[in-house]
Structure 1
Amino acid sequence: MPSRDTKPGVLLNRASPPTVLAHAVTAPRSSACPGLLRIVPARDGGICRIKLPGGVLSATQARAIADASTRHANGAAELTNRANLQLRGVRSGHEAALSAALIRAGLGPAAELSSAHATANHPHTTDPTALSCADDVRNVMISPAAGRDPHALIDTTPLCGALLTLLQSDPRFVALSPKFALLLDGGEQLARVDHPHDVWFAASPDEAGVRFVFGLAGCPGSAGATATNSTNASVGEHREANGTGALAAVPPSRVPELVRALLHTFLDLAAADATRMRDLLATRSADALLRHAQRYVDFPLARDASLSHWQRHIAADASLRLGAHAQRDDGTWHVGGQPSLGRIDAATLRQLAALAQQHGNGMLHATPWQSVLLPDIATTAVPAVLAKLSALELACDPAQAITHVIACAGSAGCAKGLADTRSDALRLAECLPAGVDVHLSGCPRSCAAAHRAPYTLLAVAPGRYDLYRRDGRPGFGQCVAPQLTIDEAAALLARLARSTPHA
């Protein structure tokens, strides 16, 4: 059989019509997720989510977001747990103007960009629904240090670009849910591998160089958690509870073709109300999905039993998102800081853009820990950049408690929130024990965290929370204490941290 190995930047041929099942879902799945054009109402105004390819935006785009947020929303941008940005408080009647401003800044789907520019000037030339659908599928996560992490096995940025092009160019993929997401792990030490994805690929050493191990509805394996990365301890439990573990491996050149096959397989077999790969795995075995996907590729596709206990070659360390760390190239560093609860006001965003242009490569990298990374900083400039980030009130040291707390919008911004989680999170951070990771959620939907934190405070009333500890069971884990005030929660967390220091 002839080889169809393809360079990462080359589009693959679409499946021929007979290959796609006649009953397959083709209509877009309905969603309440915010998007670039789908601005969703909330208690504090509309929410607009801006998807950043590879988590990257230019200084020019950052300024455009700052200007748009000031003119049309609440004047701030929020970093999300998928390395995107969102604007809250979008004013009624400003929705179309906000979307148009962001599209003009090049923040829309690349495949529709030229048409999108036309839309801003001639609203009837492009179908907004088509543009919104193209925006929805742009869900590929890579390390914020991709291509620069000295521990990486491969630079995933070209492959990420190829996958984004594939997702936007196949019209059938508009039927995927906006939550359907891919993870591309290049083996970086700075990597979010505890965040479940519908399809994940992880680089692994191979005799020929590098191959990508893949699995469905879960997370890559881990070489073990470290004291500096307590969130990574949950990787194994997520893999077993939500996904398949490692199924097989392919060379990098075959990743786009395999992604295409797996997405068509999902759309062929999943019910119309199934939005995630885990929904399909509840009714079909992973082996059945691989057999079905085989019809879309001309290389062997079957479970590799030798990968049943596969693990990453190095443990991920989330603390590397903060402070200064050497890159692969000598004399260059990435410098990172975390704004309080992931919120950046417009003035700060403009100053970050200026800092990236003055000392870096003019780019900002959002991270899935709701922080910001400035890459390609010269050694001599590192102290000045760190000082500026601190002056902007971004935390640059993992010892700072605020870097261990995440919170949703809470009752101040969401009608479903039962407590003011953001105010409570800031208060908790003032007395949180060192190294304890806590997630405050205003309701069971867990919008601020796709992964399960070591500890979760679930709001049950204003100022009152049930405290959960992760233990491998579904949901937040074990409820260890109900109806706690923030002060009571802080005291109990201190006792729990002393008894289980690596929880």
Structure 2
Amino acid sequence: MNPRQTFSPLRPSACPGLLRVVQALDGGICRIKLGGGSIRADQAVAVADAAARYAGGVIEATNRANLQIRGIGEQAAALIESLLAAGLGPTTAAGDDVRNLMLSPSAGIDRHMLIDSRPLAGQILDSLQTRARFHDLSAKFAVQLDGGEALAMLEHPHDVWLSAVEQNGESLLAFGLAGCPVDEPLGAVPEALGHELVIKVLELFLDLARPEQTRMRHLLAELPVSDFMAQLVQRLSQPPVDVTGWDRSASSIALHIGTYPQRQNGLVYIGAGVPLGRLDSAMLRGVSQLAGAYGDGSLRFTPWQSLLVPGVQFKDAPAVTDALNRLGFICSADQSLAHVIACTGSTGCAKGLADTKDDALQLAALLPHHGQRLSVHLSGCSRSCAAAHVAPVTLLAISPGHYDLYFRDAGQPGFGALHARNLTIEAVAALLDARSRSPLDA
């Protein structure tokens, strides 16, 4: 495939891709979309080498379980060539933008999974890339496939979601539109018809949506979901069935950090946080070597901006964890930095009103190392690039070092309820510390 091949999508995007480097204050950004968040260790080394050789060495783990390279200069073409050579590109140039399919990071290895979602995910990804019709989808249009794992991001909204459920002894896929698996599903189909369902939903969306309606929620703001479903049923080989007693809830344990047993006997996966979503080439090379020496030779990135080293023998877990610590990863959910996320901020983004990364480090150092911890999101502007869902606490920058503080409130739009204005980082830390000690919030 020629990486310089161009095409004109119906719904153009300014989002970076592997074949489209987007400029920021700190240089170009290249986004590498990973199938289900998974990458071979040798491919991860190729990413590390490309970042060091052709860019500034900064690599980001995104909240959609992908990777980004920042600080790309005049050697963008060489960087793209090296990543394509490592097998990290799409099967077609036009298919790069639409490879937006989220799985659980523990797909296929989670002890609580109801189905192994990876075969169906492969079918969906292949169709997204190879069917020219789907190249008219927006680069933000996204699908989620949830196999019922304990480790699953259930708060990120997707245009289409499917979630495994067992009903009357049959494996089904409940599904919904413009939402999350915690929502009430619109129906369910047999697991074997999951691919057909996705294809028919996407085709119907493209038939009904105007070019400016880039997301499913835009279409459903005008078209009643009942009308969409009525047309969808006519296209399916068999009608969806109702789902009874739906209750898909996430684990309250941070299963993306720490050591946890796999479905396969004697094996564990080890999760480690990427501090504020950023790692350098040395960190990525180091964890890739660990994956090759102790794991199954792969890494799995997560929507919590962390990664898993799967396939590790239980006896080797302490050594791997110690090595991850030395590389600079977060290996315990007790670390304050494990509960803080931040966007690029003013050092890399023209829209950023504060240096959110540096402020986040300061905040993490001031936060209590005891009691209840709330996840905190620092956003340099109202676009909320670092979080695809509303965090329990959001700090919205208004000027360098100063933020408005919001607490998540399901009854209010946006970031939630405005609690205080124009706070310094020190004031935020004091307020959150007091709140964590309050019995009213326990």
The TM tier, using the shorter chain, reads over 0.9
Structure 1 residue 252: deviation in Å? 1.0
Q: 8 Å contact 1:291–1:301 — kept in the other structure? A: no
Task: Kindly report the root-mean-square deviation, in angstroms, between the aligned alpha carbons of the 2 structures.
Answer: 1.5
- Take 1:280 and 1:347, find their aligned partners in 2: how far apart are those partners? 45
Determine whether 1:336 maps to 2:261: no
Q: 1:346 maps to which residue?
A: 281
Q: 8 Å contact 1:76–1:87 — kept in the other structure? A: yes
Structure 1 residue 466: deviation in Å? 0.2
Q: 1:442 maps to which residue?
A: 380
- Take 1:72 and 1:501, find their aligned partners in 2: how far apart are those partners? 52
Q: 8 Å contact 1:52–1:85 — kept in the other structure? A: yes
Q: Quick one: which of 367, 373, 389 aligns to 1:451?
A: 389
Q: 8 Å contact 2:40–2:299 — kept in the other structure? A: yes
Structure 1 residue 316: deviation in Å? 2.6
Q: 8 Å contact 2:162–2:175 — kept in the other structure? A: yes
- Where 1:321 maps in the other structure, the secondary structure is coil
Give the 5 Å matches for 1:28-67: 28-67=10-49
Give the 5 Å matches for 1:93-112: 93-109=74-90, 111-112=91-92
Specify every segment of 5 or more residues in structure 1 that has no aligned partner in the other structure, as ranges.
Answer: 1-25, 113-130, 222-238, 240-244
- Take 1:28 and 1:370, find their aligned partners in 2: how far apart are those partners? 31
Q: Quick one: which of 163, 166, 173 aligns to 1:212?
A: 173
Q: 8 Å contact 1:360–1:375 — kept in the other structure? A: yes
Distance 1:444 1:318, change over 3 A: farther
Please give the per-residue CA displacement for 1:266-318, whole angstroms capped at 9, x wherever unaligned: 1111121111111111001111111222343221247x3x54x6212x53345
Aligned-pair identity in percent equals 52
**4+ aligned runs moved over 6 Å, structure 1:** none
Q: 8 Å contact 2:152–2:250 — kept in the other structure? A: no
Q: 8 Å contact 2:276–2:341 — kept in the other structure? A: yes
Q: 2:225 maps to which residue?
A: 286
- Take 1:96 and 1:315, find their aligned partners in 2: how far apart are those partners? 42
Give the 5 Å matches for 1:66-105: 66-91=48-73, 93-105=74-86
Distance 1:470 1:427, change over 3 A: same
Please give the per-residue CA displacement for 1:120-139, whole angstroms capped at 9, x wherever unaligned: xxxxxxxxxxx0x3011101
Q: 2:211 maps to which residue?
A: 272
Whichever residue aligns with residue 75 of structure 1, its letter is: G
Determine whether 1:142 maps to 2:103: yes
- Take 2:313 and 2:362, find their aligned partners in 1: how far apart are those partners? 37
Structure 1 residue 208: deviation in Å? 3.2
Give the 5 Å matches for 1:110-189: 111-112=91-92, 131=93, 133-189=94-150
Q: 1:258 maps to which residue?
A: 197
- Where 1:320 maps in the other structure, the secondary structure is coil
Specify every segment of 5 or more residues in structure 2 that has no aligned partner in the other structure, as ranges.
Answer: 1-7
- Where 1:287 maps in the other structure, the secondary structure is helix
Determine whether 1:496 maps to 2:435: yes
Determine whether 1:466 maps to 2:415: no
Whichever residue aligns with residue 64 of structure 1, its letter is: A
Q: 2:4 maps to which residue?
A: none
- Take 1:317 and 1:386, find their aligned partners in 2: how far apart are those partners? 22
Q: Quick one: which of 236, 243, 247 aligns to 1:311?
A: 247
TM norm structure 2 = 0.95
Distance 1:165 1:318, change over 3 A: farther
Q: 8 Å contact 1:166–1:256 — kept in the other structure? A: no
TM norm structure 1 = 0.83
Q: 8 Å contact 1:64–1:105 — kept in the other structure? A: yes
Please give the per-residue CA displacement for 1:33-70, whole angstroms capped at 9, x wherever unaligned: 00001111000001110000010111110111011001
Q: Quick one: which of 393, 406, 415 aligns to 2:350?
A: 415
- Take 2:70 and 2:432, find their aligned partners in 1: how far apart are those partners? 31
Q: Which moved more, 1:428-437 or 1:398-407?
A: 428-437
Distance 1:75 1:427, change over 3 A: same
Determine whether 1:248 maps to 2:179: no
Q: 8 Å contact 1:192–1:316 — kept in the other structure? A: no
- Take 2:321 and 2:62, find their aligned partners in 1: how far apart are those partners? 23
Q: 8 Å contact 1:191–1:318 — kept in the other structure? A: no
Q: How many residues align?
A: 431
- Take 1:318 and 1:274, find their aligned partners in 2: how far apart are those partners? 37
- Take 1:500 and 1:181, find their aligned partners in 2: how far apart are those partners? 40
Please give the per-residue CA displacement for 1:210-240, whole angstroms capped at 9, x wherever unaligned: 211101111112xxxxxxxxxxxxxxxxx4x
